[in-house]
Amino acid sequence: MKKLEEKKIALLGSRKIEEITKIVENLGGAAISRPAQGTSLRIDTNLKEHIGLIAAGQFDWIIFTTGIGVETLYNTAQEMGKGEEFINVLQNCQIAARGYKTVNMLKKLGVTPKVRDDDGSTAGLVRSLGGYSLENKKVALQLHGDPAPKLIQWLDEQKAQYEEILPYIHNPPEAEVMEKLLSELLGGELDAAVFTSTPQVRHLLHFAREQGAENQLKEVFSQKVVALAVGKVTAQALFDEGIDRVIFPEHERMGSAIVELSSYYHKNSGE
């Protein structure tokens, strides 16, 4: 018997849906797309001004927190005719990166970060940065639509001169999709929900609160529906929202997360 047989799994992300669906189906499950995150690129004059400063070598350190953030900055730099200068600066600058997707995107640009997190989290990145002094250093901090209070607090304590760069922001997901997802979760129609980012967690819980169904949703996650997170950062967001039963892989990979889910079902099936 396939480990996900007869399991209906909601995918709350909006990227690589076909790829994840195939992994689920290969293990015998059924995947349905319920995007709980809308991503909007923010290509404005402010972003172009920041890219101009980076390309001109105005920063001592650049801290990247997402792969799509790196990609957006580079693509915008190319559109501005500053692609080469941008990469040249990155290759000769002090770079810190959070998450394997960020590191992989930098690698594609021929850039190896000097500092990276030890566990995929912002807290892990702060720990790794602990061996360096950023006092009075000019720092470009690429954020990802969500605040990073731990990182900002650390930079403040360091007395760093930092500039927040927002290459994109998250728009709320479609209300109809959220209504359907919440109805399916509360109605016992789903076995698992796959969270691939913290905004998905925030949007779902916010929507449930608006509908007066927050406690009911938490009860569903503790009893019936398994909350699957792609990695530790997303898992922590679920814990922070009061969802206690969360499955996540040791290393942040989508394939690893689905395998972790199938192992969970296997262990709890009595086989």
Joined together, the tokens standing for residue 191 give: 């076995």
pLDDT at residue 271 above 60? no
In angstroms, the CA 166 to CA 40 distance is: 11
What does each C-alpha distance from 93 to 1, 126, 136 come to in angstroms?
52, 18, 16
8-37+173-267 architecture in CATH?
3-Layer(aba) Sandwich (3.40)
pLDDT at residue 145 above 80? no
In angstroms, the CA 47 to CA 53 distance is: 10
What is the DSSP secondary-structure string of 142-197? E--SS--HHHHHHHHHHT-EEEEE-SEEEEPPPHHHHHHHHHHHHTT--SEEEE-S
Residue indicated by tokens 């200068």? 85
Q: pLDDT tens-digit profile of 147-167?
A: 677 889 999 999 999 999 988
Which pLDDT value is given to residue 68?
85
Q: Domain map of the chain by residue range?
A: 8-37+173-267, 40-170
Which pLDDT value is given to residue 44?
61
pLDDT at residue 199 above 70? yes
pLDDT at residue 247 above 70? yes
Whether residue 185 contacts residue 220, with contact meaning beta carbons closer than 8 Å, is answered with yes
Q: What is the mean pLDDT of residues 69-91?
A: 94
Which pLDDT value is given to residue 143?
86
Q: What is the mean pLDDT of residues 70-94?
A: 94
Residue indicated by tokens 């609160």? 209
Q: Which CATH number fits domain 40-170: 3.40.47.10, 3.40.50.720, 3.40.50.10090, 3.30.365.10?
A: 3.40.50.10090
Q: pLDDT tens-digit profile of 57-66?
A: 999 999 999 8
Spell out a b/e string for 129-166, using b for 16 or more CB atoms within 10 Å of the CB, else e.
beeeebeebebbbbbbbbebeebbebbeebebebbebb
pTM: predicted TM-score of the whole model, two decimal places: 0.67
Spell out a b/e string for 208-223, using b for 16 or more CB atoms within 10 Å of the CB, else e.
beeeebbeebbebbee
Confidence of residue 45 (pLDDT cuts 50, 70, 90): low
Could you count the other beta carbons within 10 Å of the beta carbon of residue 269? 10
Which pLDDT value is given to residue 232?
84
Mean per-residue pLDDT over the chain, rounded = 89
Which pLDDT value is given to residue 148?
76
Strands (E), 73-159: 94-97, 115-116, 138-142
pLDDT at residue 245 above 80? yes
The three-point CA angle 13-70-116 to 5° equals: 95
> Which of these ranges, 62-66, 122-126, 246-250, has the smallest mean pLDDT?
122-126
Confidence of residue 42 (pLDDT cuts 50, 70, 90): low
Better-predicted residue by pLDDT, 126 or 251:
126
In angstroms, the CA 70 to CA 75 distance is: 9
Which pLDDT value is given to residue 120?
74
In angstroms, the CA 16 to CA 35 distance is: 12
Task: For residue 161, report the phi and psi dihedrals to the nearest 5 degrees.
Answer: -95, 95
Element (H, E) at 240: helix 232-240
Whether residue 5 contacts residue 36, with contact meaning beta carbons closer than 8 Å, is answered with no
Which pLDDT value is given to residue 233?
81
Q: Is 40-170 in the same CATH topology as 8-37+173-267?
A: yes
Which pLDDT value is given to residue 242?
92
In angstroms, the CA 203 to CA 185 distance is: 15
Confidence of residue 2 (pLDDT cuts 50, 70, 90): low
